[in-house]
Amino acid sequence: MVRRRLGPAMIEFRSVTKQFPDGTVAVDSFDLVIPPRKTTVLVGSSGCGKTTLLRMINRMIDPTSGSILIDGEDTSGLAPVKLRRRIGYVMQNSGLLPHRKVIDNVATVPILNGVPKKDARARALELLDTVGLDRSLASKYPRQLSGGQQQRVGVARGLAADPNILLMDEPFGAVDPIVRAELQQETIRLQEGLGKTVVFVTHDIDEAFLLGHQVVILQKGGHIAQVGSPAEILANPANDFVASFVGADRGKRVLRIERVDGRDVVVDENGTPTGVLQP
Amino acid sequence: MKWVESNLGLVWDLTLTHVALCIPPIVIGFLLSIPIGWFANRFRVSRGTILVVLGLLYTIPSLPLFIFMPLILGTSQVSSLNVTVALTIYAVALMVRSASDGFGSVDSDILQAASAMGYSGWQRFWRVELPLSGPVLLAGLRVVSASTVSLATIGSVIGVTSLGYLFLNGLQRTIPAEVASGIVAVLVIAVVFDLVIVLAGRLLLPWNRGDRSARATARAARRRAVLVAEGAS
């Protein structure tokens, strides 16, 4: 296979508007630069257009107007099917093909790209290691796996063609909190290790702050309420909407220092001690 | 029993003829139904019309349809093509609903995921939609198979040889053993066809084994197809 040289994968939205046939304007003149090799999280309540934005990157949805650029190249000039094969995609409920064994699910995209089956499968086995799954699961069907395991397979599949962009659409929304916490840590580890540009969609602000180098808080119609690092947003919420969304207005995330036995103990909004301040 | 012993050769020949008469309509009907069913499912507006028209087709009584076939096809009265075409029409009428249900039973999340992976429309149809609608398609095919095997007997009335000959001849000459052996032979063919389809399903759809929800979907689809067949007869 002739590999095209992939750039660092900077994604740019330039006054992108999406109006659906039924008249709903999901996204209205949206501008955003997604920095390469970082995690950008689009966060907002349902109906804010975050999934629409994500799906416009790999042309699952085409914008009504405006353009989306990857490393300066307008995606509207690229064939959608080819574009999708070089962008990883992980969705809620894993979206695994139920009639394909785990290993074949992971090998899907490389095989579509023309990699010989044997090589694609060998690589798929390595990817199971990467996402922390036992190789013995390779010959099982997706429904024989737990929800968390399926989600890991979904991540492995998203990484299989070694894309430089990974789109994640509420990937951990349907797994229990303990597994979710594990998967979140795994995502951070993978992103740091592999240096992919990750675009992550969630409605959970805690998840957004945990994973995002850049967090984009969205209001209805894809309007950006605030863009910044978690620290910037916490230090200086742009408006009441952001303050309420991150919980600052309810005193959430406000930590106090209490002096106990000569040491500084950090206490959260409920008065629960959460740690000791290092001198 | 004496009649059966002395006419085993005849029963066997008629059984083979009957099988040969049934296989083309089942196979062609199945193949034709897949694109029509896909279309009916994909374009919801057309679904109602297509299903109603085809449902009505199945309600046409078989004997008049067999007799009218030569007028439509320009074939001779005794050509077996008349029966083949008429049985194919019935097969399509029954099968399109199952095919449409089958394609409708595929989880839209999975189709979205397949597109996001980079399957083209054509690849997605062959490698995802068709295999995943397999359980429901086969459920429909089982009903079509049973229906075709029984309807083919009526061909004998218009002179197209099938096991129906044993019914006509046996009744005319009041030989109960002849009628009974015809019934048994038709049943055996129906059961064998059914087993072949079920086995093919096991081989072609290995992921489906032990999947309760998929089996339930298939059972429900088979019941719907049976209802269509019963409602018409």
- Residues of chain A with Cβ-Cβ distance to B105 below 8 Å are none
| Residue A3 domain flag | no
In this structure, the answer to whether residues A100 and A130 fall within a common structural domain is yes
* Region of residue A31 (phi > 0: left; psi between -120 and 50: alpha; otherwise: beta): beta
Range of the domain at B139: 2-232
Alpha carbons B151 and A50: distance in angstroms, whole number: 56
Asked whether residue A69 is assigned to any structural domain, the reply reads: yes
Question: How much is the pLDDT for A118?
Answer: 94
**Residue A98 and residue A57 share a domain:** yes
What does each C-alpha distance from B44 to A53, B38, B39, B40, B130 come to in angstroms?
Answer: 27, 10, 9, 6, 18
**Interface residues on A facing B, Cβ-Cβ cutoff 8 A:** 55, 58, 60, 81-82, 84-85, 89, 91-93, 95-100, 108-109, 112-113, 141, 143, 157, 167
- A-B contacts at Cβ under 8 angstroms: 57
Contact B207 A82 (CB under 8 A): no
In a domain, A6, yes or no: no
B207 CA to centre of own chain: 24
> What residues are paired with A202 via a beta bridge?
A43
CATH number at A74 reads 3.40.50.300
Average per-residue pLDDT for chain B: 89
Start-to-end Cα distance in chain B: 33
Residue bearing the bigger pLDDT, B129 or A276: B129
Is there a contact between A138 and A103 (Cβ–Cβ < 8 Å)? yes
Residue ranges making up the domain that contains A276: 252-279
pLDDT at residue A184, rounded to an integer: 94
Asked if residue A257 and residue A247 are part of one domain, the reply reads no
Domain shared by A167 and A226, yes or no: yes
The predicted-structure confidence for A40-96, as pLDDT tens digits, reads as follows 999 998 889 999 999 999 999 999 999 999 999 999 999 999 999 999 999 988 789
Please tell me the distance in Å from B128's CA to the nearest CA on chain A: 8
Q: What distance in Å separates the CA atoms of residue A89 and residue A108, rounded to the nearest whole number? A: 12
**Residues A279 and A185 both lie in one domain:** no
**Inter-chain touch A112–B118, beta carbons under 8 Å:** yes
First to last CA, chain A: 56
- Number of domains within chain B: 1
Same domain, A276 and A217: no
Amino acid at the residue B12: W
Same domain as A215, residue A85: yes
Same domain, A260 and A168: no
A4 within some domain: no
Alpha helix positions (H), A131-237: 147-159, 177-194, 205-211, 230-235
Mean pLDDT, range B155-181, rounded to an integer: 91
Question: Is A212 within the bounds of a domain?
Answer: yes
CA of A173 vs chain B CAs: smallest distance (Å): 15
Q: How confident is the model at residue A232 (pLDDT cuts 50, 70, 90)?
A: very high
Same domain, A91 and A101: yes
A266-270, B16-20, B99-103, B118-122: least confident range? A266-270
Give dist(CA A227, CA A42) in Å, integer: 9
| Residues of chain B neighbouring A92 (CB-CB closer than 8 A) | 109
pLDDT (tens digit per residue) in B53-103: 888 888 888 888 888 888 888 888 778 888 899 999 999 999 999 999 999
Q: Are residues A275 and A246 in the same domain?
A: no
> How many angstroms separate the CA atoms of B140 and B32, rounded?
13
Which among A85, A95, A100 is the nearest to B112, CB-wise? A95
pLDDT value at position A80? 94
Domain count across chain A = 2
Give the gap in angstroms from C-alpha A113 to the nearest C-alpha of chain B.
Answer: 9
Count of CA atoms in the C-beta half-sphere (13 A) of A168: 32
- A174, A200: one domain: yes
Q: Are residues A56 and A119 in the same domain?
A: yes
Q: Which long-range contacts (CB under 8 A, 24 or more apart) does B1-5 make?
A: B1/B177, B2/B177, B3/B175, B3/B177, B3/B178, B3/B181, B4/B177, B4/B181
Give the domain CATH number at B56.
Answer: 1.10.3720.10
Q: Which 8-state DSSP code applies to residue A138?
A: G
d(CA A54, CA A61): 9
Chain B residues in contact with A96 by the CB 8 A cut-off are 110, 113
Chain B positions in Cβ-Cβ contact with residue A150 (cut-off 8 Å) = none
Kindly report the nearest CA distance between residue A160 and chain B, in angstroms.
10
CA atoms within 13 A of residue A35's CA, in its CB half-sphere: 13
Closest to A108 (Cα-Cα) out of A145, A152, A159: A159
Could you give the percent of chain B with pLDDT greater than 90?
A: 62
Q: Do B116 and A89 touch (CB under 8 A)?
A: yes
Q: pLDDT tens, A183-227? A: 999 999 999 999 999 999 999 999 999 999 999 999 988 899 999
